[in-house]
Structure 1
Amino acid sequence: MKSFDLEGYLSSGVEQVIAGIMKATAKNPKESLFLMQYLLDSRKARRIRKACADAGEHIPPFLIASITTQCNLHCQGCYARANHSCQDGIDGKHPMLTGEAWGRIFDQAAELGVGFILLAGGEPFLRTDVLEQAALHKNILFPVFTNGTMLTDAALDLLGRSRNLIPVLSIEGNEQTTDLRRGNGIYQTLVRSMQRLNKKGIVFAASVTVTKENLAETLSEDFVTALAEQGCKGIVYVEYVPVDAAAKAQALDDTARTDMMNRLNALRECREDMVLLAFPGDERSSGGCLAAGRGFFHINAFGGAEPCPFSPYSDVNVTEVGLRKALQSPLFVRLRENGNLEAGHIGGCVLFEQEEEVRKLLEEPDDDQGTNCR
């Protein structure tokens, strides 16, 4: 693998995203004022991470946090339901983290220089207590990935006074495509939610799960323009991770992934008023997958530190060891050092097809690891 400055690569990516958001929201005074302050905070966070890197400790700028296991929808092909990390009720035997516990995790993240925490679920708007805690951390940007069906008046009020919470509404394409996967009437619910967000001047984005079936539609100029006309300021394209072997036919292979990135780059040329991102995007430029602490890691609803949402295996809990030590979990270290993150793959997760290998690494004897920086 070619050697490169990972911290510089990731930090530059963060600043490019911020610059893109500022450009997309130039006509929104409240958002512009918040982002100007956040940009200063982001540069401070980068200095913290740089100091850690100089001391031999890598701190990723991103985290992904699934703050609830509950969801009010049953989307076709949902990976979270397939691996039982998402359900209808509450498991009384395994209580989810409280809002206060998440607040302490957010505190630690800010101290380490983490600038983005993506909030997911389940449906995050079922945990307004956690969203309230996130709102207090103005030096962290929280994209909230939501199905868009629970944006009540109270939720809109929270978003209106908390500019660091950015709702990202999931959509699959046009009305037929979206309702086929998410349920009848969901597309029109999303349209109404976007209209209400736009009317209140709340910045929002959209998230698209890209399959071979909807790739051409969702990366077309017509689709992007239609979202822009609703007030949408950005789109995150997430490569589909198949729930089982039968679903692999819909996952992107290298040819489809190249097609997606070519279409995305063309859209970026003509839609400078929007932030257009791909996850995981071109991993080759970062020397492999960014999971397991290279660029981010995932915290599940119970505090378990996992390589990513699509590799739900954990050997430490952040509430027990803290965020810093969780970054040096034996599983994460093995995944980073053994070359697992550099393998080729079909679909949006390099570790998905290495399930047995990840299990074996999880079972290896633990070593006490970790460093410190200020």
Structure 2
Amino acid sequence: MNDKFNIQEYLAEGVEYIIKDAIKASIKNPKEILFLHKFSKYAKKATEIRQEYDKNGQNIPVFLISSITSSCNLHCTGCYSRANNSCSDDDPSNQLSAEEWEEIFSQAKNLGISFIVLAGGEPLLREDVIKKATNFPEILFPIFTNGTMLNDDYLKLFNKNRNIIPIISIEGDEKITDSRRGEGVYSQLVDSMNLMRKNNIIFGASLTFTKGNLTSLISKEFIDTLYDLGCKVVFFIEYVPVNEETYEKAPSDNERELLLDNLERLRKEYDDMLFLSFPGDEKTSGGCLAAGRGFFHINSHGGAEPCPASPYSDINVKDTSLLEALNSKLFKNLRDGNILIDEHEGGCVLFDHKKEVENLLENFKNK
């Protein structure tokens, strides 16, 4: 790892890049442009807050991922959340209330966190939490949704509160999407996208790429389909295996390089769309950004976890502050050790080292 690497500068520059591209992608939407210019000022203020913490030796991440519910109305093949029991059909219990999430959002704002991803389960099942998020225009809230629960109330909410941006999960064309998410889901997603386009609501798409589907996802035919539906933001999310048996679906370096090359092409060909990838090339960021280096995860029960793909926690925000959670024993050991910057095949380094993370937690319990 380069000793001169400054993660705060890297992330601050990344935020500015995202905002500039988002403004460019919204050039025909005056309401969105107005909001993004305001948010740009908020983001600069947030950067200053994080830099002040950094001067005192405390790194504050730009991103927080919040899984606001453990419930979902779909049963997608290979769902990581269901595989690790963070999502189920059981009635939710001990989940954070809307008021508790509001307190987390407030603390995040005061720490200089600019982006909070709302995930699940299916986050649109928690309208109470999403309404709390509208009280924080200083923070951008992408909602990663399966897109099947959009209704008139949500259309009005998204139209009025531009800091809430729906990101619809889609696997590719109708055949590929329905094979994983269920028959008829693709047509529901198209209907939802058309509704948002007609109502001038900025929305995005989340594309989970595997070893087998990446070529179709980056094809001109598919991207043109998203473009025509009004999609302005595209996230390429690398598939994380749910167990050893699904490793063959995980992308290799060949797929990652293919995506990287095509991201440059897509950004040039579709200059009014925003293309992002996760986790992307970790080497440019000095290693994995989990455990509070660049982001961390709060599960639906309040447990602070390194990331959704590493569902381990030794501290709960019901009992402590976000700042204290960032300094949990688990997070500090991961950041100070070599796991996050370990040379590996790419993709999710914490999934590759899950046994070591489990051993760390076990050691904490035995002390």
Deviation at 1:76, TM superposition (A): 0.5
Give the match for residue 33 of structure 1.
Answer: 34
Distance across 2 between alignment mates of 1:345 and 1:220: 28
Distance 1:265 1:326 in 2: 37
Q: Does 1:2 align with 2:5?
A: no
- After superposition, the C-alpha distances for 1:148-169 in whole angstroms (9 at most, x for unaligned) are 0000111111111111000000
- Specify the alignment match of 2:330 in structure 1: 331
Equivalent residues of 1:292, 1:336 under 8 A apart: yes
Which runs of 5 or more residues in structure 2 are unaligned?
none
Q: Given that residues 173 and 208 in structure 1 are in contact (C-alpha distance below 8 angstroms), is that contact kept between their aligned partners in structure 2?
A: yes
- State whether residues 63 and 118 of structure 1, in contact with CA within 8 Å, keep that contact through their aligned partners in structure 2: yes
2:18 alignment partner in structure 1: 17
1:240–1:347 Cα contact (<8 Å) kept: no
Instruction: Report if aligned partners of 1:145, 1:167 keep a CA contact under 8 Å in 2.
Output: yes
CA displacement at 1:346 relative to structure 2: 5.1
Structure 2 counterpart SS, 1:197: helix
The answer (yes or no) to whether the contact 2:67–2:297 under 8 Å persists in 1 is yes
d(CA) in 1 for partners of 2:310 and 2:65? 13
1:24-62 deviation digits (Å, cap 9, x = unpaired):
001111111111111000000000001111111110010
State the alpha-carbon separation in 1 of the partners of residues 138 and 267 from structure 2.
Answer: 27
Deviations 1:295-346 (A, max 9, x none): 0000000110000001000001112110011111110111111111122445
Question: What is residue 247 of structure 2 aligned with on the other side?
Answer: 248
Q: Secondary structure at the match of 2:40?
A: helix
- The answer for the alignment partner of 2:47 in structure 1 is 46
Q: Secondary structure at the match of 1:309?
A: coil
CA distance in 2: counterparts of 1:346 and 1:243, whole angstroms: 17
Shift of 1:251: 0.3
Determine helix, strand or coil for the equivalent of 1:63. strand
CA offsets 1:253-309 (integer angstroms, 9 cap, x no match): 112211121122221121111100000001100011100000000000011000000
State the TM-score, normalized to the length of structure 2.
0.97
Matched, 1:219 2:218: yes
> Any idea what SS the aligned residue of 2:36 has?
helix
Who is 2:135 aligned against?
136
Q: Name the SS of the counterpart of 2:61 in structure 1.
A: coil
What is the root-mean-square deviation of aligned Cα atoms in Å?
A: 1.1
- 356-365 or 59-68, which deviates more: 356-365
Q: Separation in 2 of the partners of 1:272 and 1:31?
A: 17
Distance in 2 of aligned mates of 1:342 and 1:54: 23
Q: What does residue 62 of structure 2 align with?
A: 61
Structure 1 residue ranges (4+ consecutive) displaced by more than 6 angstroms after TM superposition? none
Residue 87 of structure 1 pairs with residue 85 of structure 2: no
Report the residue type matching 1:118 in the other structure: V
SS of residue matched to 2:16: helix
Q: Given that residues 171 and 187 in structure 1 are in contact (C-alpha distance below 8 angstroms), is that contact kept between their aligned partners in structure 2?
A: yes
Q: For residues 259-274 of structure 1, what are the structure 2 equivalents within 5 Å? A: 259-274=258-273
The 1:246–1:365 alpha-carbon spacing in structure 2 relative to 1, beyond 3 Å, is closer
Unaligned runs of 5+ in 1: 367-374
How far the C-alpha of 1:363 sits from its partner, in A, is 2.5
User: Aligned equivalents of 1:299 and 1:199: distance in 2?
Assistant: 34
Alignment pair present for 1:103 and 2:102: yes
What residue in structure 2 maps to residue 77 of structure 1? 78
Maintained 8 Å contact 1:304/1:314: yes
Q: Percent identity?
A: 51
Q: Distance in 1 between matches of 2:12 and 2:311?
A: 26
Q: Distance in 1 between matches of 2:244 and 2:20?
A: 40
C-alpha offsets along residues 336-368 of structure 1, whole Å, 9 cap, x if unaligned?
1111112244574111121110011112348xx
- The answer to which of 255-264 and 26-35 deviates more is 255-264
CA contact (8 A) 2:27 2:272 kept: no
Aligned twin of 1:371: none
| Secondary structure of the corresponding residue to residue 223 of structure 1 | helix
Aligned residues: 364
Match of 1:369 in 2: none
One-letter amino acid of the counterpart of residue 140, structure 2: L
Contact 1:241 1:347 in 2 (8 A): no
TM-score, with structure 1 as normaliser: 0.95
